[in-house]
Amino acid sequence: MSKLPRGLSGREVRRALERVGFYFVRQRRSSHMILRRDHPFAQVSVPDHKSLDTGTLAHILDGAGLTVDELRKLL
C-alpha cells in the first residue's frame, strides 16, 4: 500500500470522490462538505481546508471505501 498523499485540499478530494460517483449534498458556512454515493451507499464529510491532515484523509477514504492507490489514480 502506498503512503497517503500530503497537502491535498478538501476541494481536490471532493473532485476525486465525484469521479467515482459521489455527489455534493450540502455545506454550511464553508466548514465541511457532505458528499454522498447511492450505490453502494456511502456518505463522507470532507473539511473545506487548504490542506488535509493524513489522518483525516485516511478516515475519508475508509468511509468512501477507497484505497490510497485508487485515490492516486483519481487525482
Domains of the chain in start order, with CATH, are: 10-74 (3.30.920.30)
Residue-wise pLDDT for 35-71, tens only, equals: 999 999 999 999 999 999 999 999 999 999 999 999 9
Q: Is the pLDDT of residue 74 over 80?
A: yes
pTM of the model: 0.89
At residue 30, the pLDDT reads 77
Confidence of residue 1 (pLDDT cuts 50, 70, 90): low
* Three-state DSSP string of 13-73: HHHHHHCCCCEEEEECCCCEEEEEECCCCEEEEEECCCCCCHHHHHHHHHHHCCCHHHHHH
Residue-wise pLDDT for 16-35, tens only, equals: 999 999 999 999 887 899 99
